[in-house]
Each structure stands twice: as structure tokens, then as C-alpha cells.
A and B are shown apart, each in its own frame.
Chain A
Amino acid sequence: KAGVTQTPRYLIKTRGQQVTLSCSPISGHRSVSWYQQTPGQGLQFLFEYFSETQRNKGNFPGRFSGRQFSNSRSEMNVSTLELGDSALYLCASSMTSGGDTQYFGPGTRLTVL
């Protein structure tokens, strides 16, 4: 089976812009979770989608949003970008909602200038 894929792999934006990141889960996996990874902060949970519904949400501002499509692919959107949004954004898929084993994608490296 193909692994989790994310596009684009690298992105450079300026403050105030918005960005959309995409994640395709492993075939058959219906849950997609998003994490923000920054040096010193580890992996911080953003949200989880299952069957096109947001099932869980972390402690991030409303500028961070997401959605999931009927084929389980997920997108994450960040509006009004801030310098502090520069990070590696990882998505992870699992078979079920709240599924234990998370399979991570390679991440999208976002740089905000």
C-alpha cells in the first residue's frame, strides 16, 4: 500500500496570506489528524477528521481550519498567516476514528516571511 502523502512539501508565504495544505491517507484509512511540529514544542495536535466530520480539535486559533472529502483526503487551511505559523505540518492517518496507530506523512514545511 502507498503511504500517506502530503502536498506541497515546501511552501513560502508572507504574513497575511492564506495557505492550503493537502493530505492523502493510506488507502482504506478514514481518519486524518493534523499536527504542527516546531523545534522545542514537539508535535501539537491541530484536529482530526473522520468521515468528513471534525471529530476532535486542539488548542489552535480559528485561523486554522480543515476539511475532509468523501475519498478521505483532507485539507488544512491557515488564514492570515503569522510569522509564528512557520512550522512542519504533519498529517497522520489511521483506520478508525481515534485509531491507535498513526501513520505519518512526510510533512509540509511552511515558512512565513
Chain B
Amino acid sequence: GENVEQHPSTLSVQEGDSAVIKCTYSDSASNYFPWYKQELGKRPQLIIDIRSNVGEKKDQRIAVTLNKTAKHFSLHITETQPEDSAVYFCAAKSRDDKIIFGKGTRLHILP
């Protein structure tokens, strides 16, 4: 079945700098890749997603890139702010329609 690896597990960046989180997946048939943000004590919420027919998608300070050949996708956050501190999960939708999540990246924005 599908397997999603996420790196790094923890990331600290200075406020205003950029943050990059990377994920790889195993099922070449996967066609949908969402990213969720989970703030402390809250539920995960979708922040951006990308489908396999697109290489990049941007939404304000957040962007996601997808490399289907290498089977990896990345989340980029620019001009980071304190409210970006959270755990971020990548996920891939497998050929049997399961949403498989990575283990998460805890992002710390340093003042």
C-alpha cells in the first residue's frame, strides 16, 4: 500500500525566513496531495492541496510543488510569522482512495 515519508520531523526557522517541508510517496498511482496544519490542541485543517496534473500551486505565502517522476512533493512557506507555528502533515491519496498521512513536521517560528 501507499507509504508517505515526511522530513524533517522538527524545523525551527527565524521569523521572516522561509520554511520547506518535504514528503515522498510510494504509490505512483497517487493523484492527490493535501497538506494539513494542526495548531496545538486543535483539529487538523487543510491549508493547500495539489493534484497530479499540476506541478505547482500557490496561495499567498504558501506554495506546494510536486515532482511525479521522483514521487516527492514539498510545502514552502515564505515570510514566516509566529502564527505559522504548528504541526504540518502531508498526505497522499492512494489508488484505493485512502488518504495516507506522513508523520508530521513540528514547525517553530523563532522571534
Contacts and interface: CB of A to CB of B under 8 A. Distances in A.
Q: Do A and B come from the same complex?
A: yes
Interface of A: 4, 33, 35, 40-45, 48, 55-56, 58, 90, 97-98, 100-107
B103 interface: yes
B interface residue count range (under 10 / 10 to 19 / 20 to 34 / 35 or more)? 20 to 34
A98 B93 contact: yes
Contacts of A40: 103
B43 A56 contact: no
B83 interface: no
Given A42-B104, A44-B101, A56-B98, 13 more contacts: A40-B103, A41-B103, A42-B6, A42-B102, A42-B103, A43-B101, A45-B101, A56-B96, A98-B93, A100-B34, A101-B49, A104-B43, A106-B42
